[in-house]
Structures are given as structure tokens and as C-alpha cells.
Amino acid sequence: MTTSPSRSEPRTEALFEGLLFDNSFVRELPADPSTENRPRQVQGACYSRVDPTPVAAPTLLAHASEVARLVGLGSVDVDEPSASKALAEVFGGSRLLRGMAPFAARYGGHQFGHWAGQLGDGRAITLGEVVGGPEGRQELQLKGAGPTPYSRSADGRAVLRSSIREFLCSEAMHHLGVPTTRALSLVGTGERILRDMFYDGNPEMEPGAVVCRVAPSFLRFGNFQILAARGEVPLLRQLVAYAIRLHFPHLLPPGAGTGSADEVPHDMILEWLAEICRRTADMVVHWMRVGFVHGVMNTDNMSILGLTIDYGPYGWVDDYDPQWTPNTTDAQGRRYAYGRQPQVALWNLARFAESLGPLLGTMEPLEEALGEYGRAFRDGWESTMAAKLGLRGWRGDEKSDGDGPLVESLLELLQVTETDMTLFFRRLAEIPSAPDIDDETLLAPLRDAYYDTNAAARPDFRQRTLAWLRRYRRRLAEDGRPDPERRDAMDRVNPIYVLRNYLAQLAIRKAEAGDPSGVHELLEALRSPYDERPEAAHLGVKRPDWARHEPGCSMLSCSS
């Protein structure tokens, strides 16, 4: 029999008094009529009620103070033993607070291009929605909190390595300016979990952990897809109405309020889809800007709010390669490679639009609304690349000397030799725009961006690089932006610190040995990814050669 977490003890109530719960999802939408916690197909519901499974010895390993304030916790002294213990118990799943209403959401999705049927929160359990923080409603969700009716054959737990990666990446992406869910805490469970990291038949016992994730909502394309696929159209209409009222209230007519009416006009659904397209485009543009690869862009991993969710086998591009994927499961088809992310996002949006078809009775207007994605992505990409190059604005490709060919030739050049994407764009800001600069001075800032230290000396590559740099400098001269101003602007969009896989792996190794200091060091550096600091200089360098093929440093599996 599964043990339920205890309710919060009075002696710790003061610590959590800022967490004000208003659980709209469970209040307004239908629950699974069965409370049996075993893998099964669920019908006619948006979620199943289920409590987290308590863990043996919850220990707070790390927390994000900014996220604590975001949800209404305020300033928390984690060095005070009773506070640290209470946080670990609550956000490790061993204690429920008054007002929490735990549930696991029901959803489906397309995985690697194929409909997978019912999926759902197989190891994520939402504790509730808090409304006491500075940015309004936030959902608190524990990942690795134990089995749910959607766990299929899994145990509902998560290992420390994947939990560290999710905790750090959630916060890294936020501070990079990428739309994302957040992470409040990382709790060690004191338990060991059997996992086959490489899917090679050699499972090992690994330390377990729970991450508390935070977002205004974790609603995904798949929440709507499963209802359309099962023909549950009245419930689909109800969920759409709920999503618009709670999370897109600006689409409602003046004076409409946020009541529970489920009728949504067709034009409002189309406006809603168009906005989701714009938000998704903005998110993917930011991914491309910083060199992030999600690794598993299934439709159940796509947020209707345009937030990056579900940090599994992700990675940052080290040497620039549009065909690179961090996901071992995707190694053959490379469906979710870096350069394919914009197209995959549109494909996913099209599947989401299909799930709305039963509400309109026709697909034609939905297909027209999907056109908003292409327009938004193009505009976002152009303005982003202009910013990365330090230009005041984008010059259209309709001119023979437009910025499109300049960018295309640069991206081709980056693939000629192994070029670190992050360092290249960061060092590009140091290129002087003044005339009569000799070749060595022009190339000098870029040398440490190449994995082949002799690359700049190879005649063919050297001449091609110099030709592009001269073309770029002519464009800078036409733009007329002073070098100091340009450098400052470029350094605000081209980071120096990103969560490279090898950095995360080094922190994981230390944490698995009982030392979470590597997690704390990375979290601190990633809070200011655009500001170079001497004490963090070792975190802003190329991937070392030893990490090229090291497990956890190059490609990762979905095992966690």
C-alpha cells in the first residue's frame, strides 16, 4: 500500500504562509472518477487525483531564491536547519501543505512524428496553484514524485543526474532571456533508483531526486490532443475555454470577466491559436540565438504559453552544426537536431491545430492562423541575427546587399571547421570596424573560438574567413554604430556562460559523491550569463577534448 505524505505540521506553517493556493484546474475541470493509482487508460477527465509518494530521507540540495520569491515564499534562510528540512519535506513530496490539491494531468502526443496515444504526467505531480507572488498564478509541480495512473511501466521517480540538469537548465534559460518554466528546488530523496542510462541492458542503481518546477501553467499541446483523439469534444471545448480565461484573458471581450462559460467563439479560438504560434516562434528564435537544442520536441513537450518545458536530453551547440542532436534516441533520424527545430515547431503547431478542428468543423481557418508562425519566426530571426551581429536593424533581402546573404555565408563558414558557436559570437564583438586593419589583428579575437587551434592558419579557411570579416566590417561601417556601443549591445545578446553538457556533468559527478557545490557554482554563474567575471572564467571556455565523447557530455538518452 502506498503511503501518503503527511499534512504540514503547525511548527512550520509560518515558513509557508506566503503560499496562497487557488487551484483553478482541479476546481473547474473534471477529474478522473477513479482514484486507483495504477497504470490505466483514463476517460472523460483532464487529470487524476494522486498524492506524491513520500521519500526516505529528503534533503535540500539547492534552491533558487528568485523563484522562492516568485511563488510567495519570500526570503528563506536555507542555512537554518528546520527551514531546510521543512522545504525538503514539502518539495520532496513527503509533506502536503494546507490548500494543496495534488494531481497528475492527462495528455497525449506525437512522439518522433507518430501518435503515441495517452501519455500524461507519469512522474510529475502538481501540488497546486499559488497566487501570492509578484507575478500572479504559478503552478508548483514535483518531477520524480512517484507513480501515477500515467506512469505506464515506470516507477515515477527521477535520478539525481537528470534532476540536476533540469534544475540548472530551467534557471539558466530564464537568465538568458529564453521563455521557460522555472525551478524552485532540488531535493535528494535518500533512495536509489535502478536505471539503464544507455539502454544497453546494463542498469545501475543511482541516487534519486525531485525537482519542484514552476510555471503559470504546464498545459501542453497534448492536453488538447488526447481529448480530440478520443472524441471528447465537449471536454475539449471546456478545456479551451478554461485556458483562454485563465491564461489569455486579454483575448476576452471587455467586461467578459473570467466566469466558467465554456462557449468560445470561433474567431477567439483562431486568435488564440495565432498567439500560441507567435509565442512558440519567439521561444524557438531564442533557442536558436543561444545555441540550445531541446532534444525531444514531441507535441507533449510543447507549452501553449510558449515556454520551454521538460528538460530531458537537451544540449548546447558547442561546435556549430545544424545537424547536431543531443538525444541518443534521435541519433539516426536527427528529427530534433538544432537546425530543424523551427520546422518541427511548425509541424507540432499543425498537429495542435488539428486537435482544435472539431470545435470549428473545418480546418481552413485554422490553417490560415498557422501562417502567423512563419511570419513571427522570420521577423524574430531577422531581428535576432541583426542583434547578434551588432547591427541597429535588419536590412531586407530584397536588396542585393541585404543582410540575408551575409548571415547565410557566416553560418556556412562556421561549419567549415569546428567553431564554438557561443565563443565565436561573443568574440565577434571585439572585431574593430576601423579601416586599414591588418589580417592578424582582424583574426586575433576569433582564434580561441576554433577547436582546431591551427584553423586560422590554413590558407583556404583563412582567406574565406577574412573575406567574410571584410564584408561584415563594410556593413558595420554603413551602420555607423560606434564600436563601444556595438560591443555592449552584442554582449547583451551573445552569452559567455551557457550550461554546456560537460559543465553539468562535472557538477553531477560531485553531487553524486555527496558534494552539491558544483551545482551552486553553476547556478551562481548562470544567473549572469552575459557578464564576464574573473572568478567564473573557467566556465566560459570551449568544451575540453576529453568531453567530446564522454557519457553525459556529448549525447544523452531519455533515461532519468
Contact 181, 283 (CB under 8 A): no
Contact 319, 308 (CB under 8 A): no
Residues 6+ apart with CB under 8 A from 461: 416, 417, 455
- Give CA angle at 547 (543, 548), nearest 5°: 85
Dig out the grid coordinates for 558 from the structure.
531519455
The three-state DSSP-derived secondary structure of 110-157 is EECCEEEEECCCCCEEEEEEECCCCCCCEEEEEECCCCCCCCCCCCCC
DSSP code at position 448: G
For 96, counting Cβ atoms within 10 Å of its Cβ (0-12 exposed, 13-18 middle, 19+ buried), the class is buried
Contact 461, 455 (CB under 8 A): yes
* Residue listed under C-alpha cell 467586461: 255
Contact 304, 220 (CB under 8 A): yes
Give how far the C-alpha of residue 345 lies from the chain's centroid of Cα atoms, to the nearest Å: 14
Give how far the C-alpha of residue 91 lies from the chain's centroid of Cα atoms, to the nearest Å: 20
Helix axis angle, 483-491 to 364-388, nearest 10°: 130
| SS3 at position 295 | coil
- Helix H segments across 415-458? 421-428, 439-443
Dig out the grid coordinates for 89 from the structure.
519535506
Assess whether 403 carries a catalytic annotation: no
- DSSP letters along 230-292, please? TT-HHHHHHHHHHHHHHH-GGGSPTT-TT-------HHHHHHHHHHHHHHHHHHHHHHHHHTE
Of 32, 300, 318, 403, which is the active-site residue? 300
Dig out the grid coordinates for 380 from the structure.
524574430
For 180, counting Cβ atoms within 10 Å of its Cβ (0-12 exposed, 13-18 middle, 19+ buried), the class is buried
Torsion, Cα of 310, 328, 165, 298 (10° steps)? -10
Contact 176, 499 (CB under 8 A): no
Q: Residue 42 and residue 536: Cα distance in Å, rounded?
A: 49
Looking at this protein, which amino acid is placed at residue 346?
L
Q: 6-7 and 95-96 as β-strands: parallel, antiparallel, unpaired?
A: parallel
Contact 394, 385 (CB under 8 A): yes
Listed residue (143, 130, 127) closest to 74, CA to CA = 130
Question: Residues with catalytic annotation?
Answer: 300
